[in-house]
Amino acid sequence: MRYVDEYRDRSKAAALAARISGTCPPGARYKIMEICGGHTHTIYKHGLEAYLPEGVELVHGPGCPVCVIPMGRVNDAISLACTPGVTMTCFGDMLRVPSAKRSLLDAKAAGADVRVVYSPLDALHLAEQLPGRQVVFLAVGFETTAPSTAMTLLQAEARDVRNFSVFCNHVTVVPPLRAILDSDEVSIDGFIGPGHVSAVIGCRPYREITEGYAKPVVVSGFEPLDLLQAVHMLLLQLVEGRCEVENQYRRVVTEEGNRRAQQVVDETMELRPSFEWRGLGDVAWSGLRLRDRFAAFDAELRFEIPGVRVGDPRACQCGQVLRGMIQPWECRVFGTACTPEKPIGTCMVSSEGACAAYYNFGRGNRPRAQMAGRG
């Protein structure tokens, strides 16, 4: 297939659904976690749940880069933004992420210089245009976005832009999966691996999950037929008693990934011994920080940052959604006190958040009893 429409063909989807139903043994129950928020939005935008038998339940994982940033780190970003002489730059979906008291958008309204950029290189260019200010880039994201931050750091070093720095919150995808499986809070039978992350890291890192935890992984693309095929591939593994890393997204993802992207990240960043995740707590060797060579561009070294750990609001259950323990509609404030216009948690405000997917594609308008009947 060559065109997007071909990956959304209803007849092909129906054929895949029949194969999935034929593969799932009568009475069997399987819980599959799609890690990536982009997958979650495809599932509910295109109604893929309706193509699955009752025995197959999809739950949502910690693959939304904005959702997993803890409140304490958001507070730190706001503190930086409010520092005299600082211009804070970030992607647009970070603006409205709530912290303990306010968001970056609130700080901007109160007078802080907060600007939306489309890449870290935009932030570097801004620093060159504003030599009298300290320009900080709020770096978030998994291995997908880390290479662009890494390349920008190399450019900043080469061009000697000393009024530019990075507040690094990049994270890696495999450690939180280990944390979820180690917790025994939820029983996951298999994982749909993220396509964009895997384009960078390849398929090999997921062997930690297949070999260490005996859970199959299928890396998937983002179109409806991609995801239905990934579910079918997982079910075949489960029924046949296999446990492998398989690549459904071969048109983009390779076994080894993008070696050049991996090299520039390794050149500029290293793993932190521990990093806090929303809903998961401290996860060992899961976050990235700048290497000593780039200390001059490290906002955490250049500025005084509170670094205080902040708990989520008691009403918010984003952590349980990110661990696959509950569906978004089961959160006690979903669609009432917590909406995209007035979010309490990150899963509702982020463009990749599971709660936003449920709300925006009509799941919040369906009776809970009907929704519960699907799962």
Q: Are 14 and 60 contained in the same domain?
A: yes
Q: Are 241 and 262 contained in the same domain?
A: no
288 lies in a domain? yes
Q: Are 342 and 359 contained in the same domain?
A: yes
Instruction: Write out 347-373 in H/E/C secondary structure.
Output: HHHCCCCHHHHHHHCCHHHCCHHHHHH
> Total structural domains in the chain?
3
Alpha carbon distance 74, 119 (integer Å): 19
Q: Are 122 and 210 contained in the same domain?
A: no
Residue with tokens 């997007």: 4
Q: Are 285 and 187 contained in the same domain?
A: no
106 lies in a domain? yes
Alpha carbon distance 155, 167 (integer Å): 16
112 lies in a domain? yes
For residue 365, the model assigns a pLDDT of 43
For residue 252, the model assigns a pLDDT of 97
For residue 341, the model assigns a pLDDT of 86
269 lies in a domain? yes
What CATH number is attached to the domain comprising 19?
3.40.50.11750
200 lies in a domain? no
Measured N-to-C along each axis, helices 37-45 and 224-240 cross at an angle, to the nearest 10 degrees, of 110
309 lies in a domain? no
Task: Give, for all 375 residues of the chain, the pLDDT tens digit.
Answer: 777 888 999 999 999 999 999 999 999 999 999 999 999 999 999 999 999 999 999 999 999 989 999 999 999 999 999 999 999 999 999 999 988 779 999 999 999 999 999 999 999 999 999 999 999 999 999 999 999 999 999 999 999 999 999 999 999 999 999 999 999 888 999 999 999 999 999 999 999 999 999 999 999 999 999 999 999 999 999 999 999 999 999 999 999 999 999 999 999 999 999 999 998 999 999 999 999 999 999 999 999 999 998 888 888 899 999 999 999 999 999 999 999 888 888 999 888 899 999 998 875 544 333 333 333
Q: Are 286 and 331 contained in the same domain?
A: no
Q: Are 39 and 138 contained in the same domain?
A: no
Q: Are 153 and 268 contained in the same domain?
A: yes
CB burial of 278-296 (b: ≥16 within 10 Å; e: otherwise) equals bbbeebeebbbbbeeebee
Out of 238, 269, 302, a domain closes at 302
Q: Are 75 and 163 contained in the same domain?
A: yes
165 lies in a domain? yes
For residue 5, the model assigns a pLDDT of 85
Helical (H) or strand (E) element with 268:
helix 259-268
What CATH number is attached to the domain comprising 94?
3.40.50.11740
Q: Are 324 and 297 contained in the same domain?
A: no
Q: Are 112 and 142 contained in the same domain?
A: yes
281 lies in a domain? yes
Q: Are 28 and 147 contained in the same domain?
A: no
Domain hosting 31: range is 4-65+179-194+205-247
